[in-house]
Structure 1
Amino acid sequence: MAKTTKTERRAFDALKDAADASKTAKKAAKTLEGKPARALKELASEAAEIADLSKKAVRKHPKRVAKRAEKVTAKTEAATEVALKAKRRPPMVLKGKKAPITVTPSAEAPSVAPTPAVKAPGAVPDSLEVAELLVAEAAAPVVVSHESWTVAQLRARARDEGRAGYSRLTKSQLVELLGLA
C-alpha cells in the first residue's frame, strides 16, 4: 500500500475545504434572490465539481489539484461572505438628477437596479469593493413609485409574477394588471 505524500494530503485537505465551501455557498444561495443567488450557485457548483476529483487525479497532479481547490475555495468563501453581508446591509439613499432613491432589502419591492449614472457629480465612492457593490445592488432592489417604471420593467415584474398576456399591454394596462394603481 502506497503512502500518501505531504502534497497529496494537502490536496485532499483542499478538496475537503472546497466541498465544505460548496455546501455553505449553496445554503447561503437559498436565502438570496436573483443574480446574487445565481452567481453563488455557480460558484458552489464549481467548488463541488473540483471537490469530486478522483484519487487518481490527485495522486497524478497533487500540487495542481491543491492550488486549484484552494483558489476556488477562497473565491467561493469570499463571495458567500459578500452576499450575506449585502443581505444584512441597512438601507442606503442614492442621490441623482431626480428625487433621491431609497434602496431597501425587500422581497416585495420591484427588482429595478440603479444605474451608475445615479451618483451625484463629485461624490466620494464608497470603500466597498466592486464585488460587494454589485452584490448589494442586485440583492437590495430599489424602491420607486410605479409611475417612474418603464414598460420593460413592468413587463419584467409581470413575468416574475407568472402573469400571462402582458407582452402587448400598454404601461397603464400593465400597472392595472399588476395591481399597482
Structure 2
Amino acid sequence: SGVHLSPASPEIVLDHDHSSPSIGCLSSDAIISSPENLHVDNTIVNQTVPKAQIQQSTHTHLDIPLFPLGLTDEASNGTIATLDESEDSGTHVSNIQLQQKISNLEIKLKASEEEKLRIKKDVESLMEKHSVLEKGFLKEKEQEAISFQDRYKELQETVKAAIIEEQKRSEKAVEEAVKRTRDELIEYVKEQKRVSIF
C-alpha cells in the first residue's frame, strides 16, 4: 500500500491528482492509539474520499505512530521504574554495606575498649603486686638490719664480757704472783735471820 509509518509527522495530507485542493488535514489528536481504531479510521477515509490518492513526497507524508502513545508511555514508565528500582537497590546495597562497616568499626572499638580495660586492670594488678613485694622486701631488709644490729650488740656484749673476764683473770694472776713473791721474800728474810743467829 502507499501508507508509510513514521513517528515524526503530525498531519495526514490527502491530494486529488495534484490539482484539487486539500480535502482536509487530520491532526495527531484524531489518530486513535489502538490497532482496532486505526482500522476504523482507514475505512472512514476510504468512504469519504473514494478516489483520493495518498502521495508521499519529501515534504508531505502520512506518519502514524508504530505503537500507541499509552503503550510507549507505559514502556517508558516501566523503564524509568526499572531504573529507579535499580538505583534504589544499589542505594539499599550501599546503605547495607555502610551499616556493616559501621557495625564492624563499633565491634572493633568495643574490643579495643575491652582490651584497654583489661590492660589497665593488669597494670593495676602488677602495680599492687610490686607494692606488696616492695613492702615485703623492705620489711625483710628491715628485719635483717634489726637482726644485724642485734647480732652486733650481742657480739659487742660478748667481746666486752670476754675482755672483763680476761681482765679479772689477769688481775688475779698478778695478785697471786705478787703474793707468792711476797711470801718468798718473807721466807727469805726469815731464813737470813736464822742463819745470822748461828
1 or 2, which has the higher helix percentage? 2
Structure label with greater radius of gyration: 2
Which TM-score applies when normalising by structure 2? 0.19
